[in-house]
Amino acid sequence: MNQDQLNRRAEAAEAAVREAGALALDFYRRRGDLKIDSKGLQDVVSQADHDCESLIEAFLAREFPEDSLLGEEGGLRQNGPTLWVVDPIDGTSNFLRGVAHWCVSLGIVVDGRALVGFIYDPAADEMFSAVAGRGAALNGEPIRVSGETDIRRARIGLGFSYRTAVAPHARDVETLLDAGCEYLRLGSGALGLAYTACGRLDGYWERHINLWDVAGGLVIVEEAGGRISDFMTRDVATTGNEILAATPALFDPLRSLVDKA
């Protein structure tokens, strides 16, 4: 894929995420009318997730019908080698409970590497973005990970879902606190990566997360100067993986802490 093809897709991806974000915000304001379905323990979904994903699917079919789409709700629509990976509403539990910490996340993956990322928080009107080799931004302003080097001053985002056992997560909390490291569980892996990229957090750790939750954030963290664990394995689109993101100085200390937990 040449730079021009990538740039055209990046422009289109931003437009698609903004449109889906506007629809999601409209649903959010009338969330009381939404019927909530369960996908598993503490794993919810509503018409808002489905309609926002369908909007992006229709957009993609119009603009780049040769590309493929992987969405949280509709799964894989295989076409050509370029893969758009979408989480129409990341932080769905927050969304349905009226907690204004959710977003639309989109990443474009080529040859197993995320090259374009957009994470849009419509409630805060914050657009986190990055294209490989062109840096990361928040509402167009360049962003960098924090300069934090000391685990005893660090604030780390933690994620958990019942896709994994409780005990390792509980040990993570204890291990980080014993190390003097503060943690926050905000309920959106995508925003956890975006906040790491702009220095609101010094890192993010979750023992299992899906590609659609992080595809947008991977390139945003890297282009903001952060380090990311080797998330993109061959079958990650179906299996998911653990994710560790952090400032360069904190990555190895955090790695050894969570490996010890």
Query: How deeply is 53 buried, as exposed, middle or buried, from its count of CB atoms within 10 A (0-12, 13-18, 19+)?
Result: buried
State which residue, 188 or 241, has the beta carbon closest to ligand LIP: 188
Binding status of residue 213 toward ligand LIP by CB under 6 A? yes
Helix then strand then coil, % of the chain, to nearest 5: 40, 30, 30
Least separation in angstroms between CB 209 and ligand LIP: 5
Site stretch for ligand LIP (CB under 6 A), options 2-10, 11-19, 84-92, 128-136 = 84-92
Quote the CA–CA distance of 35 and 45 in Å, as a whole number: 9
3-state secondary structure of 130: strand
**For residue 1, what are the CA distances in angstroms to 15, 38, 51, 85, 149?**
20, 39, 30, 17, 37
Q: Closest separation between CB of residue 40 and ligand LIP, Å?
A: 10
64 vs 226, beta carbon nearer ligand LIP: 226
Maximum Cα–Cα distance across the chain: 52
Total residues at the site for ligand LIP (CB under 6 A)?
Answer: 14
> Can you tell me which of 16, 84, 86, 91 binds ligand LIP, judged by CB under 6 A?
91
Return d(Cα 171, Cα 183) in angstroms, integer: 13
User: Could you say which residues in the range 219-258 bind ligand LIP, by CB under 6 A?
Assistant: none
Q: With respect to ligand LIP, which residue has the nearer C-beta, 149 or 239?
A: 239
* x-marked contacts with ligand LIP along 181-210 as a string, rule CB under 6 A: -------xxx---------------x--x-
Beta bridge partner(s), residue 199: none
Compute the distance between CA of residue 103 and CA of residue 74 in angstroms, rounded to an integer: 18
Which of 129, 146, 161, 196 is in the footprint of ligand LIP by CB under 6 A?
161
Which residue, among 238, 236, 243, has the nearest Cα to 222 in the 3D structure?
Answer: 243
Closest distance to ligand LIP from the beta carbon of 116 (Å): 19
Q: Pattern 60-79, binding to ligand LIP, x per CB under 6 A?
A: ------------x-------
Alpha carbons 160 and 54: distance in angstroms, whole number: 27
Among 71, 107, 122, 159, binds ligand LIP (CB under 6 A): 159
Q: How far is the CB of 11 from ligand LIP (least distance, A)?
A: 25
Q: Which residues bind ligand LIP (CB under 6 A)?
A: 72, 87, 90-92, 159-161, 188-190, 206, 209, 213
